């Protein structure tokens, strides 16, 4: 892997000067065009062996381009804001908006490499991360990002020489620390880990470029030219690239599906409703305050047809919570800053810290529902979204975020009844818009989209709970009780209130439904 980077590439001063004059002008032009077009985000990873000239090259990039539209991202020990959120959160926060070039000095690769060398994680865990990164980078590339990954290599002898010469120069001596020398001892391990890593993450959408680090001029010029080539090529491209990550949708051959299978006649009468609601609220209130919850956070996702009662369910739910502990995120059109980022970015930024709760009123599933049905994005885009969403939720849940997802289902007749009812109410906030009526016309298309969504994204870590919402009381109780059950399951806590509930009162959960129907 690294043989070609130990050949002793050298560029003489004169050639360098000539080349740089041209390179700098071209880079500035390309960068200007990127900004003018607000084209795409550019992510440049600079990784590799200590002393191989990472900061020198970053310095040169700044010198050659307009430094105002460059930014360097570094990652030291995670802050408490960061360490209380999933591993990838800090990297999502650091992504460049469209038109910007961010240089990553250190990246999602750094920590796993260090941990693998020190033996803190085994090969299986390391490979799990590798897989995660490949998927993450595929998502970035499919969202239009240009991802360039550089690995600066030095032979063992070369590294020793570089460190010594850095140490001698008073301007650079500070950069050689005790740790640099320490790490020289693990040179062999780094090579082993890195060569495996590079091989496994050298993908068509985010290839690695190995650069010999010995000669300053050779190294920087190589990187500069590679960046320029990639920029020019991408700027000239007429079509976006797509890296398929998902199989196509297969068509149903009968009318039986998860939605038609729902029994919408289920209801709960008022006195019983009030009792069960109060009990579930008490349970939830205790669970959210339990010491076990402080090591987790909770993400609730609400989807459903217009007027299916998401708002009402959310109100009953938050009534049990301390207002300082949760945040409701109503998902409408993305803001300008959000539109300049991959579509999951706006959800990542709202992921709660430990001990906190975020409730999404409409969610990232907009991509495979409204955007698919209305044609706001291409088929390739919504098709890959299933896999990306699964990855997203998997990353959250693997790091302790508890995810509960609800689809609230009502019949077409019930929706019409509620629309008409709302038209009678004077409150402006309830007014039915033309859009609501238009959405209604696409009932069947939405129906199919929901079925595909449940089919592809109901995972072990983040299953969908379908809520029969024809009766509001039933829906509200089922939502609350489902949240309680999930919390109890994950936190391994049984609330006394739960134990109190008579078994016949318990609402059957999705997974138990089949069993139950047979009885």
Q: Is 292 in the site for a copy of itself (CB under 8 A)?
A: no
Using the 8-state DSSP alphabet, how is residue 217 labeled?
H
Q: Is 80 in the site for a copy of itself (CB under 8 A)?
A: yes
Residue 63 beta carbon to a copy of itself: minimum distance, rounded to whole angstroms: 7
Q: Give the distance, in angstroms, between the CA of residue 450 and the centroid of all CA atoms in the same chain.
A: 21
Residue 422 beta carbon to a copy of itself: minimum distance, rounded to whole angstroms: 13
Q: Is 69 in the site for a copy of itself (CB under 8 A)?
A: yes
Closer CB to a copy of itself, 251 or 428, in the complex: 428
Q: How many CB atoms lie within 10 A of CB 70?
A: 19
Q: Is 7 in the site for a copy of itself (CB under 8 A)?
A: no
Residue bearing tokens 């709302």:
422
Q: Is 413 in the site for a copy of itself (CB under 8 A)?
A: no
Q: Is 179 in the site for a copy of itself (CB under 8 A)?
A: no
Instruction: Give how far Cα 287 sits from Cα of 233, 254, 262, 397, 499, Å.
Output: 54, 42, 29, 18, 14
Among 9, 90, 105, 117, the residue binding a copy of itself under the rule CB under 8 A is 105
Q: Is 278 in the site for a copy of itself (CB under 8 A)?
A: no
Element housing 150 (H / E): strand 146-153
Q: Which stretch binds a copy of itself (CB under 8 A): 31-39, 249-257, 391-399, 404-412?
A: 31-39
Dihedral in degrees, nearest 10, Cα atoms 498, 504, 506, 511: 130
How far apart CA 476 and CA 281 sit, in angstroms, is 11
Closer CB to a copy of itself, 326 or 382, in the complex: 326
Q: CB within 8 A of 235, min separation 6: which ones?
A: 30, 33, 34, 37, 39
Residue 229 beta carbon to a copy of itself: minimum distance, rounded to whole angstroms: 19
Q: Is 144 in the site for a copy of itself (CB under 8 A)?
A: no
Q: Mark 322-341 with x for binding to a copy of itself (rule: CB under 8 A) and - for no binding.
A: xxx--xx-x----xxx----
Residue bearing tokens 């291409």:
378
Site for a copy of itself in 344-383 (CB under 8 A): 361
Rg (CA), the chain: 27
Q: How many CB atoms lie within 10 A of CB 3?
A: 8
How far apart CA 209 and CA 198 sit, in angstroms, is 9
Q: What are the DSSP calls for 172-187, one per residue?
A: TGGG--HHHHHHHHTH
Q: Is 171 in the site for a copy of itself (CB under 8 A)?
A: yes
Residue 475 backbone dihedrals phi, psi, to 5 degrees:
-60, -50
Q: Which stretch binds a copy of itself (CB under 8 A): 130-138, 179-187, 204-212, 321-329?
A: 321-329
Closest residue by Cα to residue 232 from 26, 37, 67, 16: 26
Among 285, 354, 458, 459, the residue binding a copy of itself under the rule CB under 8 A is 285
Residue 197 beta carbon to a copy of itself: minimum distance, rounded to whole angstroms: 23
How far apart CA 57 and CA 103 sit, in angstroms, is 11
Among 429, 441, 511, 518, the residue binding a copy of itself under the rule CB under 8 A is 429
- Give the total residue count for the chain: 519
Closer CB to a copy of itself, 74 or 118, in the complex: 74
Closer CB to a copy of itself, 312 or 400, in the complex: 312
Among 282, 399, 461, 505, the residue binding a copy of itself under the rule CB under 8 A is 282
- Check if the beta carbon of residue 299 is closer than 8 Å to that of residue 358: yes
Q: Checking phi first, is residue 153 left (phi over 0); if not, alpha (psi -120 to 50) or beta?
A: beta
Q: Give the distance, in angstroms, between the CA of residue 100 and the centroid of all CA atoms in the same chain.
A: 20
Among 15, 74, 118, 123, the residue binding a copy of itself under the rule CB under 8 A is 74
Q: Is 280 in the site for a copy of itself (CB under 8 A)?
A: no
Among 14, 239, 428, 518, the residue binding a copy of itself under the rule CB under 8 A is 428
Q: Which stretch binds a copy of itself (CB under 8 A): 156-164, 239-247, 317-325, 388-396?
A: 317-325
Q: Is 295 in the site for a copy of itself (CB under 8 A)?
A: no
Element housing 315 (H / E): helix 310-318
Among 427, 441, 499, 504, the residue binding a copy of itself under the rule CB under 8 A is 427
Sign of the Cα pseudo-torsion (465, 467, 472, 478, in order): negative
Q: How many CB atoms lie within 10 A of CB 324?
A: 7
Q: Site for a copy of itself (CB under 8 A): how many residues?
A: 48
Closer CB to a copy of itself, 257 or 312, in the complex: 312
Residue 194 beta carbon to a copy of itself: minimum distance, rounded to whole angstroms: 21
How far apart CA 65 and CA 110 sit, in angstroms, is 26
- Check if the beta carbon of residue 42 is closer than 8 Å to that of residue 208: no
Q: Mark 10-29 with x for binding to a copy of itself (rule: CB under 8 A) and - for no binding.
A: ---------------x--xx
Residue bearing tokens 């080539």:
229
Site for a copy of itself in 34-63 (CB under 8 A): 36, 55, 58-59, 62-63
Helix, coil or strand: residue 107: coil
Q: Is 236 in the site for a copy of itself (CB under 8 A)?
A: no
Closer CB to a copy of itself, 76 or 492, in the complex: 76
Residue 318 beta carbon to a copy of itself: minimum distance, rounded to whole angstroms: 6
What residue ranges bind a copy of itself (CB under 8 A)? 25, 28-29, 31-33, 36, 55, 58-59, 62-63, 66-72, 74, 79-81, 103, 105, 171, 174, 282, 285, 289, 311, 314-315, 318-319, 322-324, 327-328, 330, 335-337, 361, 427-429
């Amino acid at each position: 892997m690294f043989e070609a980077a130990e050949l002793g590439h050298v560029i003489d001063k004169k050639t360098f000067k000539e080349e740089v004059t041209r390179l700098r002008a071209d880079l500035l032009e390309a960068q200007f065009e990127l900004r003018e077009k607000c084209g795409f985000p550019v992510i440049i990873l600079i990784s590799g062996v200590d002393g191989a000239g990472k900061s020198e090259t970053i310095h040169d990039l700044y010198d050659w381009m307009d430094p105002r539209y460059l930014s360097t991202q570094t990652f030291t020990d995670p802050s408490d804001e960061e360490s209380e959120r999933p591993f990838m959160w800090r990297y999502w926060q650091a992504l460049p908006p469209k038109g910007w070039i961010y240089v990553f000095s250190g990246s999602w690769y750094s920590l796993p490499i260090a941990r693998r060398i020190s033996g803190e994680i085994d090969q299986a865990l390391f490979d799990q991360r590798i897989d995660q990164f490949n998927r993450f980078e595929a998502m970035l590339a499919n969202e239009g990002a240009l991802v360039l990954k550089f690995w600066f290599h030095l032979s063992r002898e070369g590294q020793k020489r570089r460190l010594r010469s850095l140490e001698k120069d008073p301007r650079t001596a500070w950069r050689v620390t005790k740790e640099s020398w320490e790490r020289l001892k693990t040179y062999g391990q780094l090579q082993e880990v890195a060569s495996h890593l590079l091989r496994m993450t050298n993908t068509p959408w985010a290839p690695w470029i190995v650069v010999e680090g010995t000669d300053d001029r050779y190294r920087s010029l190589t990187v500069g030219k590679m960046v320029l080539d990639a920029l020019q090529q991408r700027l000239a491209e007429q079509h976006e690239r797509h890296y398929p990550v998902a199989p196509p949708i297969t068509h149903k051959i009968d009318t039986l599906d998860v939605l038609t299978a729902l029994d919408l006649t289920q209801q709960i009468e008022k006195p019983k409703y009030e009792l069960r609601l109060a009990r579930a609220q008490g349970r939830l209130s205790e669970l959210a305050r339990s010491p076990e919850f402080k090591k987790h956070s909770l993400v609730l996702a609400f989807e459903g047809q217009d007027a299916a009662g998401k708002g009402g369910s959310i109100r009953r739910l938050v009534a049990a919570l301390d207002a300082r502990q949760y945040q409701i995120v109503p998902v409408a059109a993305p803001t300008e800053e959000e539109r300049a980022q991959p579509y999951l970015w706006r959800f990542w930024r709202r992921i709660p810290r430990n001990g906190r709760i975020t409730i999404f009123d409409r969610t990232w599933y907009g991509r495979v529902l409204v955007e698919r049905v209305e044609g706001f994005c291409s088929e390739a885009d919504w098709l890959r979204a299933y896999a990306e969403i699964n990855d997203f939720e998997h990353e959250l849940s693997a790091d302790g975020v508890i995810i509960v997802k609800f689809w609230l289902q009502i019949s077409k007749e019930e929706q019409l009844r509620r629309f008409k009812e709302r038209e009678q109410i004077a409150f402006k906030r309830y007014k039915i818009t033309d859009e609501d009526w238009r959405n209604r016309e696409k009932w069947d298309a939405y129906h199919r989209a929901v079925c595909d969504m449940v089919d592809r994204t109901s995972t072990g870590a983040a299953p969908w709970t379908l809520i029969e919402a024809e009766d509001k009381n039933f829906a509200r109780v089922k939502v609350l009780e489902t949240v309680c059950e999930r919390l109890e399951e994950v936190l391994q806590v049984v609330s006394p209130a739960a134990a109190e509930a008579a078994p016949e009162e318990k609402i059957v959960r999705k997974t138990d439904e089949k069993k139950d129907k047979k009885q």
